[in-house]
Amino acid sequence: MPLSWLHQAPFTTWTLPGIALLIGVAVPQLTALGLLVSGHRWALAGGYLAGIGLVLWIAVQMLALQRCFFMQPVIAAAGPWRCCWPGCANGQQQRRAARQPGWPAASRTDPCY
């Protein structure tokens, strides 16, 4: 990305924005993925926070740069999807478990079963 994009931003190089991107977007996304893959009980909350953080990152980026890059709307749309993904995966795990023999019949009232 050209340095000229930073003329209205408080930065003169892409180093600090790159570090902020790593800490503010990559680390939360990877943490949420790790929680989801491990089946941790905080996976859903982690996914929500990572998705919300992604949308906030794009909003701040557009305000700071005063430009719209074609990937910004794509990534901003991925944020809400990212918020829902852990819930979908969690629901699939619960439905899979409900199909196991010996699982209580009362739990089979899930309409997605």
pLDDT tens by residue, 59-68:
888 887 777 7
The span from the CA of 29 to the CA of 21, in Å, is 11
Range from 8-12, 18-22, 31-35 carrying the lowest mean pLDDT: 8-12
Q: How many CB atoms lie within 10 A of CB 75?
A: 16
Q: What mean pLDDT is predicted for residues 12-40?
A: 91
Q: Is 90 exceeded by the pLDDT of residue 36?
A: no
CA distance to 34, 87, 92, per residue, from 45 (Å):
13, 9, 17
Q: In angstroms, how far is CA 17 from the centroid of its own chain?
A: 19
